[in-house]
Amino acid sequence: MKILVTGGAGFIGSAVVRHIIENTRDSVVNVDCLTYAGNLESLISVETSERYAFEQVNICDRAALDRVFAQHQPDAVMHLAAESHVDRSITGPAAFIETNIVGTYTLLEATRNYWDQLDDTAKQAFRFHHISTDEVYGDLLHPDEVLEGTELPMFLETTSYEPSSPYSASKASSDHLVRAWLRTYGLPTIVTNCSNNYGPYHFPEKLIPLVILNALEGKDLPIYGKGDQIRDWLFVEDHARALYKVVTEGKVGETYNIGGHNEKQNLEVVQTICLILDTLVPKETAYSQQITYVQDRPGHDRRYSIDSSKMQRELDWAPEETFETGLKKTVQWYLDNREWCKHVQDGSYQRERLGLDSEKIEESK
């Protein structure tokens, strides 16, 4: 099987590519335009495999996509390419509309054009797997909003959409496009919605890697509001296993929610990182003393919680990492890979690898 993975140089995408190349016999075509968050250094372990190919292509470029499909003849698409940082979507929503909505539309049309030309057997086997987020559902009741002992709701595959940010609204739109291409054109699509991912190779603008690196550098550890926002944390390698299960065994037209079964308040996450660092890299004062509180961001969802029982029931998947084991592995990885962090932030590896000049790297940020 040959799988075209969009956004395969990103955080989750690179985990998916590594999983496929290292644990299966399938081939991967990695399609990524290499924005600031895409980093080929995350794929060093697989880039020499004869089953791996890289195409530096923007998913909004229809002609380039048509060429990639014609050249590589994939059996499935896993669509992970997206702008994904909520804060950036608030200050600059246009890029999110362009990539997440227009890019998904362009990819769907390129895929449909390719799929229409396949023979009946290949058409039947083909899959378009769209990877989305739990943020499309909006937020859920917080424990401090209900009576003690009341059972709190979770996101189900049937939960209605109520996105709160430009990012989540753009992802909700892309989800609807994917389902419409199934209903209207018969393109065999599947959608997954995941909870917050964490783990190795995460760009250092997201909460967990940012806190780890800021702590080590003696900087403030900023917490929005009171830090009582609750997220369900999913180790990225568990997510990669789940996504491969879906694209190979999932049912066309279905939605699958993928969660880590780890609801934690943001403040608790930061405090846990500090405790781990206190043990691994001790200093005179506790890292928790670097915690600061900043003004909450607009439209900040208070609680997410994924019910992933459908994944376990129908596809025999469950997360292997607890939050404690996964977080320890993550902190240790960042301690052991400070050079990767430096390269991904300054773009030096990308420049050396592809001959990109510093101005283009800076423009993409």
Q: In terms of residues, how long is the chain?
A: 365
CA gap 336, 280 in Å, rounded? 12
CA atoms within 13 A on the CB side of 183: 7
Where helices occur in the chain by DSSP H, the ranges are: 11-23, 62-72, 86-91, 94-96, 104-116, 120-125, 166-185, 207-216, 236-249, 266-280, 309-315, 323-336, 338-346, 348-354, 358-364
CA gap 246, 252 in Å, rounded? 10
Element (H, E) at 129: strand 127-133
Phi, psi for residue 77 in degrees, rounded to 5: -120, 135
194 SS3 class: strand
Residue type, 259: G
User: What is the 8-class DSSP label of residue 25?
Assistant: S
**Residue with token string 């509309």:** 97
**Contact indicator for 305, 137 with CB cutoff of 8 Å:** no
Active-site residue, from 134, 232, 237, 263 = 134
Q: Which two tokens stand for residue 340?
A: 């990767």
**Residue with token string 């690898």:** 353
135 counts as catalytic = yes
Active-site residue, from 32, 135, 139, 263 = 135
Burial (CB count <10 Å: 0-12, 13-18, 19+), residue 267 = middle
Active-site residue, from 105, 137, 167, 256 = 167
Residues with Cβ < 8 Å from 23, sequence gap 6 or more?
Answer: none
CA gap 108, 178 in Å, rounded? 7
134 counts as catalytic = yes
* Strands 230-235 and 263-265, sheet pairing: antiparallel
Active site residues: 134-135, 167
